[in-house]
Amino acid sequence: MNLAYHDVRHNLFRFVLTSLGLSLLMAVVLAMIGIYNGLVADALNVVRAPQVDLWVVESGTQGPFAEGSKIPVSTRDSVARLHGVIEAGSITYQTIEAPFAGSVLRLYIIGFERGRPGGPQDIAAGRGIGRSHFELVADANSGLAVGDMIRLGRDPFKVVGLVEDTTNSGGDPVVFITLADAQVLQSQLAPPAQRIQASRGAGLSASRDTVAAVVARLEPNADKEAIAGTVRQWKHLSALTQADQEQILLQSVVDRARRQIGLFLGILLTVSAVVIALIIYTMTMEKLKQIATLKLIGAPDRTIVGLIVQQSVTLGVVGWSFGLVLILLVKDYFPRRVVLEPLNAVALGGIIFAVCIFASGLGVRAALKVDPATAIGG
């Protein structure tokens, strides 16, 4: 006879309510794990989007994401000529706010040269940019659809394609436009003082002569470090490999946010563990008289331990399962990406299982100490 099953069935409403509370807690823990993963994935997405091997940036900076970087547009030709480089392209990055359909969209603009590295790789809907001006490819999270028109700066742009899961480290959706359009946009959106300069012809020229970085794809067997080393010897320029760039992003750009969420996740897990332990301990304490009776009528310890451990694990499994289902149902409604890997869910399941066993251990300890005489009343 399974006593745990009978007890749960007898107190089903209470058990379901407790499981529901626990599952909400589990859902929050899973959401935090997903947000943490999403933050890292978003940060790396924008670096991985061009699918390149080498980043050439301004000397003394860790650009173009961690720090600002401006290098001459002619750098691309110099990089392209290096031995081991297949192709190179200039790119610019900037964040703008653009009005659309009665609201303001915050967009991360990437300017790239058509036919060169730096542009969108996997078009989910529509097509890539086919004209030199006023076309864009946007991340689907921006809310833009193929065929939409949106004004960036002074010019209207047509949405010709969509990409997925391409945002910057701040969660702003990426929009790809041509390098020429991006350079114009940079000058248009400059502060008033720069606009005055632009009206004199100086600012616009400066903007069009510089880019944020040059990205390059290398031959498969090329020595990345050697090529990067060659570029570093050039005046005013530095080079980062893809791995360097990802490392910089994780260690500088999203590091604090990542640690903040990581710490909060740790606190949340601790709170969950305490709550689970408290629930199970309380459940056991409420049954002490029944446990004393069981001992008195001759139930062995394994029957009593089974009652507590099975209920505890059932509570954990139900709470974890409901929590997982809940977060899978709502994760797409979060403003920022929530990335849940199967390993995360399994790891949390393992942690919860361990917590349940530990918590039931406290209950078991109390139960085994109960004097059967208490069932008689002294």
> Under the rule (CB under 8 A), what is the footprint of another protein?
1, 3, 6-7, 9-11, 289-290, 293-300, 303, 371-373, 375-378
Q: How do strand 149-152 and strand 155-163 relate by DSSP bridges?
A: antiparallel
Phi then psi for residue 167, to 5 deg, are: -135, 165
Integer Cα distance of 224 and 111 in angstroms: 25
Task: Specify the residue, 78 or 293, whose C-beta has the smaller distance to another protein.
Answer: 293
Task: Specify the residue, 11 or 94, whose C-beta has the smaller distance to another protein.
Answer: 11
Whole-number minimum distance, CB 296 to another protein, in Å? 6
Task: Specify the residue, 8 or 52, whose C-beta has the smaller distance to another protein.
Answer: 8
Integer Cα distance of 261 and 269 in angstroms: 12
Whole-number minimum distance, CB 8 to another protein, in Å? 8
Whole-number minimum distance, CB 297 to another protein, in Å? 6
Task: Specify the residue, 14 or 133, whose C-beta has the smaller distance to another protein.
Answer: 14
Whole-number minimum distance, CB 294 to another protein, in Å? 7
Spell out the residues 6+ positions from residue 323 whose beta carbon is closer than 8 angstroms to its own: 22, 23, 24, 25, 26, 27, 29, 30
Integer Cα distance of 42 and 39 in angstroms: 5
Encoding tokens for residue 208? 């069009």
Integer Cα distance of 97 and 151 in angstroms: 10
Whole-number minimum distance, CB 4 to another protein, in Å? 9
Judge contact between 281 and 366, C-beta under 8 A.
Answer: yes
Task: Specify the residue, 84 or 372, whose C-beta has the smaller distance to another protein.
Answer: 372
Whole-number minimum distance, CB 261 to another protein, in Å? 42
Spell out the residues 6+ positions from residue 318 whose beta carbon is closer than 8 angstroms to its own: 19, 22, 23
Task: Specify the residue, 191 or 377, whose C-beta has the smaller distance to another protein.
Answer: 377
Task: Specify the residue, 86 or 296, whose C-beta has the smaller distance to another protein.
Answer: 296
Integer Cα distance of 105 and 94 in angstroms: 14
Whole-number minimum distance, CB 40 to another protein, in Å? 47
Task: Specify the residue, 262 or 306, whose C-beta has the smaller distance to another protein.
Answer: 306
Whole-number minimum distance, CB 314 to another protein, in Å? 14
Residue 185, judged by CB atoms within 10 A of its CB (0-12, 13-18, 19+), counts as buried
